[in-house]
Amino acid sequence: MEAGRPEAGGRSALAAAVASAMFVATLFAALTSSVARTLPPRVVATIAPVHSLIAQVMEGIGRPLLLLPSGASPHGTVLRPSQMRALRRADIVFWIGAGFETFLAAPLKTMAEDLTIVTLIAQPGMTRIEASPGSAPASEPASEPAMSRRRAEADPHIWLDPVNAVRILRVAEAALTAADPANGSRYGANADRAAARLAILNGELAAMLKRVEGIPYVVFHDAYGYFERRYRLSPVGRVTIAPHRPPGAGRLRRIRRTIAAGRAICVFTEPQFPPKLAAMLVADTAARRGVLDPVGAGLPPGTAHYATLMRNLARALVRCLAPG
């Protein structure tokens, strides 16, 4: 009997140790699960203007990840391994759609089934306008005449209308609340505040641009239809059909004739494209040159990006079309 006591004591100690370990493991699992439930969803937004709007809805709760660096063109982009990893880790991806981020259409099809993909241009209530005749997705290799015959599609630059920007806020609020209901009221309050700021911004831009209504100008490519329609602006031509392809000689001759005849006060290029072409078009004419930036190249990403982008567009138009 005496010899058996140490064995029994050993079994008791072992059982106690096992029970203690199981308790610690159970407590750790519970704590880990609780933390996981309180973490905000992992969100990816493709371009800086959309990222800015999503960041405003998530302010104080979490931060979305920007897939494309500020100012990077979505035309002809190839995803890096780090960007693919970000997509695979995401819970929600916000993008404009396959007609804009063409590089993303195939990769998104390979993602996990539980990934929420929010295609903004397809959302109910989003104002959509047709792209100008001849506009084409970045992936389409057709010739210029062939593109001019293709069926008109929706212009993907939806964020350049502040009313659409408010719709993006509400779509983001709904998607984030569905993924993270515990923070739903905070997403809603953030979206309300952001929408109120956009209403003020819309009035500010309308007042600023009223002085240039009806003044004709030429843009580098067909990116500004929503902005122009919202503020009653008057473009009379675009240098190129697709920003990743150089314009044809015939198109350049037509644009040059328009400018030489005084039917365009200003020619706008864009930051990522060399200004030499604009200089050639306005040479020996009274037309001026300006720069428009539809995605905010060079602007830091974040909550302030969207309003700064829109104000910069308005100021650039006024400086060139109505100097002084």
The answer on pLDDT for 141 being more than 70 is no
**Residue 310 pLDDT more than 90?**
yes
Residue 316 in this model has a pLDDT that exceeds 70? yes
Q: 292 by DSSP, 3-state: which? A: coil
Confidence (pLDDT) at 60: 97
Domain ranges, ordered by start, for the chain: 43-129+150-206, 211-321
Name, in order, each residue with C-beta under 8 angstroms of 205's C-beta and a sequence gap of 6 or more: 162, 231, 310, 311, 314
Look at 20-29, 92-101, 226-235, 292-301 and tell me which has the smallest mean pLDDT. Answer: 20-29
Q: What percent of the chain has pLDDT over 90?
A: 61
Instruction: Please state which architecture CATH assigns to domain 43-129+150-206.
Output: 3-Layer(aba) Sandwich (3.40)
- Cβ distance 236 to 217 under 8 Å? yes
- Using one digit for the tens of pLDDT, what is the confidence trace for 242-281? 776 778 888 888 989 988 888 899 999 988 776 788 888 8
The larger pLDDT score, comparing residue 138 to residue 256, is at 256
Please determine whether the domains at 43-129+150-206 and 211-321 fall in the same fold group of CATH.
Answer: yes
**In terms of Cα–Cα distance, which of 166, 236, 202 is closest to 310?**
202
- pLDDT value of position 241: 73
- Fold (CATH) for 211-321: Rossmann fold (3.40.50)
Q: What is the pLDDT of residues 221-233, one digit of tens each?
A: 889 999 999 999 9
CB atoms within 10 A of CB 8: 9
> How large is the average pLDDT for residues 87-99?
96
Alpha-carbon span 305 to 64, nearest angstrom: 14
> How many C-beta neighbours within 10 Å does residue 256 have?
17
Tallying the residues shown for the chain, one arrives at: 324
Cβ neighbours for 192, distance < 8 A, ≥ 6 positions apart: none
Q: Where are the beta strands (DSSP E) in the chain?
A: 43-45, 65-66, 92-95, 116-119, 216-221, 234-240, 266-269, 288-291
Query: Above 80 in pLDDT, residue 21?
Result: no
Instruction: Report the first-to-last Cα separation within the chain, whole angstroms.
Output: 107
Q: What amino acid occupies position 140? A: E
Q: Which residue has the tokens 């010739």?
A: 143
Q: What is the pLDDT of residues 167-195, one digit of tens each?
A: 999 999 999 999 999 999 999 999 999 99
Q: Is the pLDDT of residue 50 over 50?
A: yes
- CA 25, CA 267: separation in Å to the nearest integer? 67
Interval 135-158 mean pLDDT: 51
